[in-house]
Structure 1
Amino acid sequence: MELNISNNNKQKMTVINGGHFFDLSGFYEEVSSVLMKDADWKVGSLDGFNDILYGGFGVFENGDTVQLTWKESQKSKQDLGFEATKEFYENKIKQGKPFNIELIQEKLDELIDGKGQTLFEILIEIIESHQNITLILD
């Protein structure tokens, strides 16, 4: 867990370490400890992860320029790959409401057909959707 603030351009730098987790709940723990230092709630969903990237909840504010380095990203790519994603969708289907079972089944079918995104790819897409965040896969 690191947070460095560069004085020249006020870009905040933070690090997610893939060596600190091996599954999605571990990823949520890691980003909670890194990005939500003094907040009284933790990330527990993909939507929650997206929400904290807007800033204003933890270590950076809305609109801050952030450089996010994901160390051991290749390990995370495997940890949060096909098997973890398949299990993620299957668990949501088993749980049922409030989840949209038809949509989740479609996503599972796409994954199995080799067309769907893995959790790792979904997380990358979420990060990259925030224009103020530069992602570095290390």
Structure 2
Amino acid sequence: MELSTSNKNNKKMIVINGGHFSNLAGFYEEVSGVLMKDVDWKVGTLDGFDDILYGGFGVFENNEEIEIIWKDAKKSEDELGLEATREFYERKIKQGRPFNTELIQEKLDALISGEGQTLFDILIEIIESHEKIKLTLD
């Protein structure tokens, strides 16, 4: 887990190390440790991950510009790919409520047909939806 400040523009650089995890639960542990230091709350959902990227209750403030460097991104892409995503959706469908199983089944069908997003794709999309965050895959 790394956090540093760049000298060129004082932008915080946060490192997510794909070598530290091999599944979604491990990703949540990694980002909780990197982004939520000294905070009792930990990330445990995709929505929770999105929430912490707004800043204000972790290692950076609301609207502060940061750079996230995702080391070993290729490893993460493989491990959070098709198989992990299929299992993720199947668990939610099996659990049922409170999940919208029809929507999740549609996402699973799209994934299997090659048109849907993997967990890795979803995580990247979440990060890139935050204008103040620059993402670098390493």
Q: TM-score range, shorter-chain basis? A: over 0.9
Matches within 5 A, 1:1-138: 1-138=1-138
Tell me the CA shift for residue 57 of structure 1.
1.4
In structure 2, give the amino acid aligned to 1:114: G
User: Partners in 2 of 1:114 and 1:2 — Cα distance?
Assistant: 35
User: Partners in 2 of 1:84 and 1:119 — Cα distance?
Assistant: 7
User: Partners in 2 of 1:54 and 1:100 — Cα distance?
Assistant: 26
User: Partners in 1 of 2:30 and 2:130 — Cα distance?
Assistant: 19
Tell me the CA shift for residue 10 of structure 1.
2.2
Structure 1 unaligned blocks of 5 or more = none
User: Partners in 2 of 1:47 and 1:53 — Cα distance?
Assistant: 10
User: Partners in 1 of 2:42 and 2:114 — Cα distance?
Assistant: 32
Q: Which runs of 4+ in 1 moved over 4 A?
A: none
3-state SS, counterpart of residue 43 of structure 1:
coil
3-state SS, counterpart of residue 19 of structure 1:
helix
Tell me the CA shift for residue 6 of structure 1.
2.6
Tell me the CA shift for residue 8 of structure 1.
4.2
> What count of residue pairs does the alignment treat as equivalent?
138
User: Partners in 2 of 1:64 and 1:113 — Cα distance?
Assistant: 39
Identity within the alignment, % = 72
Tell me the CA shift for residue 9 of structure 1.
1.9
3-state SS, counterpart of residue 48 of structure 1:
helix
User: Partners in 2 of 1:16 and 1:69 — Cα distance?
Assistant: 6
User: Partners in 1 of 2:125 and 2:17 — Cα distance?
Assistant: 18
3-state SS, counterpart of residue 117 of structure 1:
coil
User: Partners in 2 of 1:111 and 1:82 — Cα distance?
Assistant: 7
Q: Is the Cα–Cα contact under 8 Å of residues 92 and 101 in structure 1 kept in the other structure?
A: yes
User: Partners in 2 of 1:6 and 1:22 — Cα distance?
Assistant: 28
